[in-house]
Copies of this chain bind each other. A is one copy, B any other.
Amino acid sequence: MAIATRDLFLDLDRSSPVPLYFQLAERLRAAIEGGVLEPGARIENEVALAAQIGMSRPTVRRAIQELVDQGLLVRRRGVGTQVVRGRFAREVQLSSLHDDLVRGNREPSTRVLEYRVVAADAELAAQLGVEPGTELLSLERLRSADGVPIGHLRNHLAPEYSDIPREALERFGLYQLLRGRGASMRVAKQSIGARAASAREAELLETEVGAPLLTMSRSLYDDTGRAVEYGSHCYRPDLYSFEVTLVEK
């Protein structure tokens, strides 16, 4: 039996700049995360839901699809749509470690270890999709949370961002600064691995030489498809990990 959802959608605002499908998706999400729709519960079919709410079926469908993509709902043709059982994972966003820490109510701080302009070698040029020899701002930072070192961050920034002042990097997250300079970041391609800490990394991260580190290298592109930065980071695995949700299509 499908759950009655009539009362959940009374306050949709058609004059709002927020899309209808998004408003509906957020209400469904709240119902799921708030326990109104329990794990395993079936929601009403798309046609009936559209009629009840007074929206077209494609709009309702898109709202549901958002939650399917995020792993909160599963659909079966000919059967129906249900809430996934089990725990909910916080969705991975395209955000910086700095922002992650702030969201987790931890106090981030940053020490800039290196700040200089370099010419892109072949490897960097390929990662970023720029010409070899292009001038990039090379950064090396140590990021701490509540005074404890958590990550060693190396970044190379595209030329248009190479005027970010060193002092700003001590106080703000890199993504925050990039956004403030008009970058609209869209696509990140990451590779996650592990390796042993070097002597320098061990000293910076206050751990032992050879201790396991979680590594992440990332190429970041903006909404024009141009490279914004290439980053090569390592983290203390006792203080940081990556959460990923995969949905089979």
Contacts and interface: CB of A to CB of B under 8 A. Distances in A.
Contact of A129 (B76, B85, B210, B241): B85
Given A191-B241, A195-B237, 18 more contacts: A71-B189, A82-B224, A85-B129, A86-B126, A86-B128, A86-B129, A89-B189, A89-B191, A92-B244, A94-B246, A187-B247, A188-B245, A189-B244, A190-B245, A190-B246, A192-B214, A192-B241, A214-B214
A147 interface: no
Report the copy number of this chain in the oligomer: 2
Contact of A243 (B85, B130, B191): B191
Given A86-B219, A246-B94, A224 B74 contact: yes
Interface string A197-217: 000000000000011111100
B94 A221 contact: no
Nearest to A76: B223
Most B CB contacts (10 A, CB to CB) among A92, A126, A188, A244 go to A244
A79 to B, nearest CB: 8
The range of chain A's interface size is: 35 or more
Given A212-B194, A244-B244, A246-B94, A189 B86 contact: yes
